[in-house]
Amino acid sequence: MTLLLLSALAVAEPPAVLPGLEAETAAEAAVSAPPSGLDERVEELLRQMTLEEKLGQLQQLDGEAGGDYRPEHLELARQGRLGSTLNVRGAKRVNELQKAALESRLRIPILFGYDVIHGFKTIFPIPLGEAASFDPAAAERSAAIAAAEASAAGVRWTFAPMVDIARDPRWGRVAEGAGEDPYLGSVMAWARVKGFQGEDLTAQDKVLACAKHWAAYGAAEAGRDYNTTDLSEHTLRSVVFPPFRAALEAGALTFMSAFNDLNGVPATANPFLMTQVLRQEWGFEGFVVSDYTAVQELVAHGLASDGAEAARRALGAGTDMEMVSRLYNQHGARLVQEGRLPLAVIDEAVRRVLRVKFRAGLFERPYAELGRESPVLRSDHLKAARLIAARSMVLLRNEGGVLPLDKRIRTLAVIGPLADDKRSMLGTWPADGRAEDAVSVLEGLRGKTFPEAKVLYAKGCALAGEGAEGLDEAVRVAQQADAAVVVVGEDADMSGEAASRAALDLPGRQLDLVRAVLGTGTPTVVVLMNGRPLTIPWIAENVPAVLEAWHPGVQAGHAVADVLFGDVNPGGKLPITFPRSVGQIPIYYAHKSTGRPPDAKNKYTSKYLDSPVTPLYPFGHGLSYTSFELSDLALSAKTLPPDGKLTASVQVENTGNRPGDEVVQLYIQDADASVTRPVRELRGFERVTLKPGEKRKVEFPLTPEHLGFYGRDSRFIVEPGLFRVFAAASSVGGLEASFEVVPK
């Protein structure tokens, strides 16, 4: 039995068309087969290459700020000594550099890469926010749009999706992934690879995907970026690896190594990761690129005494292409001459790189097509960005019917340091997105109210720091209004790479601002914009309405207004747990029970003296302006053999008075196993749209891939014993049933 394959996951088949969007890709389509004679073409090139040219194919160099190539790139390209660039983009620039490469002796084209993480020019919600949609079709659609825009600028390879599972929100890069759960992470990884690559890798509007960071980068100790990780093989195979395997099964032909060391061996020089698992077990035929200077950093790790040893270890482990640093080129020839590195290792790395270039159609279509690149954002792309942003928002709290707001409102106060911050709407890694193209929340709300309505604005306070000069103005504005919307959180630079935080409270005086506005007695809504879970217990207990908007992208303001005024009924769910305090971290729903589960009546159980052990908001939580009820959880069998299958079904009904979306979630618990298992594991979900009074039956298959686990010998098994099944609207509560796996 192999790792959990996405093709067997119990997510209902995603719709081909999102409501309000036109279909562009088919989620189930397979990546096109390699061109006939590919291996022969690769070997023919390899036979002609000098060692210097081979090492050139393993070199990726960075461009200038703004997307231009560097002067030395032209000469290296003409010599056949530049395999790839990152950050070089723009059809004219790309074609100039590619022309130089095609003037080289063997005419091997350059592969142009760029970080297209959640959009190229049309910026979508950060990936963590998009995962909150629980809608893989939305993720596929946004990736397809990003690929179309990036490829028009000559980009043929994106360093996405990031599929790291992250359970410590202090780590800033939680913003770039799908959260804490390997099942949801696998579904989103699959969808994003399909969106980037489509049915045909050689199509002009597609780009190569890159699954990163291989592996365990999301488990950095203390949530500190680039820090060490130490995880058991059981945890690696059960939690960390599944989204990478899903990306591979979806057709990803490149992986990126992680910065961190893993169990004492840096990932970039880790044979267990690069060779044993990725190539021998999974049969990966693409290539691995190092992260930025990660090969050189093997010296700082203490694994290598100098650059030559770092190159030997990374190449020998299976990291094929070196990003930015130049140790392969500086030391490769000497390592071969001295017998410290077999030439066959270099040949195999080059073989992998050439194979991907052929499969991507780079030899047949090396140039960017002039005329496709446009400075104007397409209206259909903006429409998609607006809808997907709204679908990603999570209603955390709504007491007293504060939301949705009445469009006939006479005076609305819009307050907060992020209310008119266009740059922060785009979030981390906004590629070529421009702040001037973004719609702020203030702009979006002004456009939503009747012309005679007043929309008053006050910044209130700075995003960070102790300055509180604007609090009085915010109070004055709130006192004049029928309702107040306070937009607080993190700016774009407070999450993402190198943006770890030791505290997860609202920065600066933002909480004081919320308290001051709420103290006026004006009905108050807090809109959170952030790249990670925040610790907001006071807001959760006191503010009547709280909307998690993440960093929503270029159409942020319109999407927020759509949700606040009820044109879109929020249906997103949290893809990651919100802690009450940093002291609870790491906190995630799929924890073990321990031998002494928490018991308020017994001191000697697993809990805190000064805080509940429960989260502030659990994984899967999200409210709606209507109400839903689950009923009639049924299993198609009460017993089954280890290789058997069953179907779990549940009825979901809209019991409220307006249409809305519910994400029906299916969890299992293996209650009788030879290794301890999580209290719950997500094994299926479906986002359904229901009219008032409408009821629908939702079905989820449960197969050996869903029921098995990695045993004490790290082999995948399905053991006889009791299984519990939960159908719920979050990872807490819900309906329960059980079945038993029995020996054959």
Which residues have a catalytic role annotated? 291
CA dist list (Å): 1 to 12, 364, 627, 716: 23, 39, 41, 6
Residue pair 146/118 in contact by the 8 Å Cβ criterion:
yes
Are the C-beta atoms of 668 and 702 separated by less than 8 Å? Answer: yes
**Residues, the chain:** 744
Cα–Cα distance for residue pair 153/90, rounded to 1 Å = 4
Contacting residues for 580 by C-beta, under 8 A, at least 6 apart: 535, 537, 611, 612, 614, 615, 616
Among residues 279, 253, 346, the alpha carbon closest in space to that of 59 is found at 346
Strand pairing of 735-741 and 721-728? antiparallel
Q: How far is the C-alpha of 33 from the C-alpha of 38, rounded, in Å?
A: 10
- 167 to each of 25, 213, 217, 244, how far by Cα in Å? 31, 15, 11, 17
Structure tokens at 116: 């297209």
Could you count the other beta carbons within 10 Å of the beta carbon of residue 528?
Answer: 24
Q: Across-strand partners of 710?
A: 716
Q: How are beta strands 735-741 and 639-640 bridged, if at all?
A: parallel
- CA 535 to chain CA centroid, Å, is 21
In 3D space, the residue among 488, 490, 383, 394 whose CA is nearest the CA of residue 132 turns out to be 394
Nearest to 492 by CA among 574, 553, 407: 553
Amino acid at 461: C
What is the 3-class SS of 203-258, one letter each residue? Answer: CCCCCECEEEEECCHHHCHHHCCCCCECCCHHHHHHHHHHHHHHHHHHCCCEEEEC
Sequence-ordered strand ranges (E) for 99-209:
111-114, 157-158
- 231: which 2 tokens? 């995880």
The neighbouring-strand residues paired with 290 are: none
Q: How does DSSP classify residue 174? A: G
Nearest-angstrom CA–CA distance, 685 and 666: 6
* Residues 6+ away with beta carbon under 8 Å from 334: 308
The residue to which tokens 């020996």 are assigned: 743
Q: How far apart are CA 670 and CA 384, in angstroms?
A: 40
Distance CA 582, CA 577 (A): 12
| Bridge-based pairing state of the strands 646-654 and 628-635 | antiparallel
Question: Maximum CA pair distance of the chain?
Answer: 81
> Which structure tokens are listed for 76?
């290296």
Phi, psi angles (nearest 5°) of residue 446: -60, -35
Report the run of H or E that residue 649 belongs to, with start and end.
Answer: strand 646-654
- Tokens representing 566? 């009820």
Please name which of 581, 513, 543 lies closest in space to residue 395, comparing C-alpha atoms. 543
